[in-house]
Structure 1
Amino acid sequence: MHLVSFLYPALLAASGADALRSDKVKLSNIQSLTLRKGLQTSARRVDPIPQLKCVGGSARGLYEPEVMRCKNSGSDYDENSIQWTCTASLPEEFKLGSTDVICEGYDYPEDPYILKGSCGVEYRLILTDRGREKYGKGGGWSGDDDDRPDGPRTTGEKIAGVLFWMLFGGVVLWMIYSALRNRAQGPDG
């Protein structure tokens, strides 16, 4: 009996110490994340990803922030749908567009528990007016495709746009041609 009473607290202490070292963290309990350029996420079920990855925007490839900090801003409709507010120190020519925090679910993709250190951010980097002046991108007649709130146009959208304008131009030219031809023939016909 004395052996059991001695082993029971020792087993509890050992299991408690193991829980403290656990790499399983509830996503809704994370208050903030600090992500760094050039570092990879932790990985258990899937391959590691870069902690910071620029996925678009008019300034993509022109600058990369060294550090980005994302704060838990609460949840949408349940505690697993966390909204994050991300900030980075950027030169005045750039601003952050949309940001998406991506974390590896511990046991399955939508697990409310994640692997500690597995979060990364996919972000869009946008040129400010000052950046457009300096780098000469965007603005102009066609606008800057990457500054659209819904992201850059797909190849299909671009082709459809070109076909529309070609058809429109053809109709206008046909109307002008018809008007000039009718005018040249005069009222007699």
Structure 2
Amino acid sequence: MSRKKNRLKIFDTKYFWSVIGALILLAFFLLSNFTVIFDRLDNGMLDTFFKYRTDRVEQDLQVGVSYEGFNPNISPDILIVGIDLKTLERFGRFPFPRWRHADFLKSLSRINKQNERENSVFLDLLFGDSIENPTYDGLLVDAFKENGRVFTETFLDEFPPPAGSYTDYYERQQV
């Protein structure tokens, strides 16, 4: 009997599993916030998802005969232009100069037949850094205006910019 009295109450069966559960939750919290284990797992699962999600299925039925089926949920009108190693070898290191993006957008704008033109262009690139030659910003802005169908990525910052930087932002928009 004396042995049972000296034992802490949390080691009783009715409380012990709650303590184990709390320790497991604490371990998951610490692992998710202070390590990259779950980030790597998430990125690996996302890579696998995109690897197996295709717009077409090709199957060889017999020699010389193949079946090709398309996923009706993926529009063939969408074209994703990526920056891969071949692109980097041809155009140099990333980020590319802004005049290169402007040339790309202007080449899309030169398509005369409106029904063959793109409906929109989404550039998943941030143009937030200042550059050496501000005329390149002007070329890019002109290309945006000429194309008229360009959307860029934006980001929200939890901290407001320094007090004097608002005028700098407005001056950049007047280019």
What is the TM-score with the length of structure 2 in the denominator?
0.23
Larger helix fraction of residues: 2
Larger strand fraction of residues: 1
What is the TM-score with the length of structure 1 in the denominator?
0.22
